[in-house]
């Protein structure tokens, strides 16, 4: 999933998918919690809609943070491997 998020970052498809997933999860959680409290259906749908908005917003924010973290990690890994390749290897003298 992490590599998919990095590869699709220019297309924004992964971000849309994460926001949609957050909205669906938020709607389901909001509807479930509202029905557990035995609220009326219009009030349940109102709470589920608010939870869907909040879930989509939070999942989008978290996805952007995760994507930036993955990008920084990939750049750091590339810089570290370039530094290892650039430094000459020092061999220890063998004792005979």
Distance CA 35, CA 53 (A): 18
Q: What pTM does this model have?
A: 0.67
Burial class (CB in 10 A: 0-12, 13-18, 19+), 30: buried
Q: Which of 14-18, 36-40, 68-72, 80-84 has the lowest mean pLDDT?
A: 80-84
Mean pLDDT of 4-10: 57
Q: Token digits for 73? A: 């990690």
Distance CA 96, CA 81 (A): 34
pLDDT score recorded for residue 23: 96
Instruction: Give residue-wise pLDDT tens across range 52-70.
Output: 999 999 999 998 898 888 8
Residue ranges of domains in the chain: 24-67
Distance CA 37, CA 47 (A): 12
**pLDDT band with cut points at 50, 70 and 90 for residue 34:** very high
């Amino acid at each position: 999933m992490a590599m998919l998020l990095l590869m699709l970052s220019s297309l924004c498809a992964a971000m849309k998918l994460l926001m949609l997933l957050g909205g669906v999860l938020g709607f389901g959680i909001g509807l479930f919690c509202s029905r557990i409290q035995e609220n009326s259906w219009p009030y349940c749908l109102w709470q589920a809609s608010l939870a869907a908005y909040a879930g989509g917003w939070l999942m989008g924010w978290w996805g952007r943070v995760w994507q930036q973290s993955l990008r920084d990690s990939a750049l750091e890994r590339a810089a570290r491997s370039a530094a290892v390749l650039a430094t000459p290897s020092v061999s220890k003298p063998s004792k005979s």
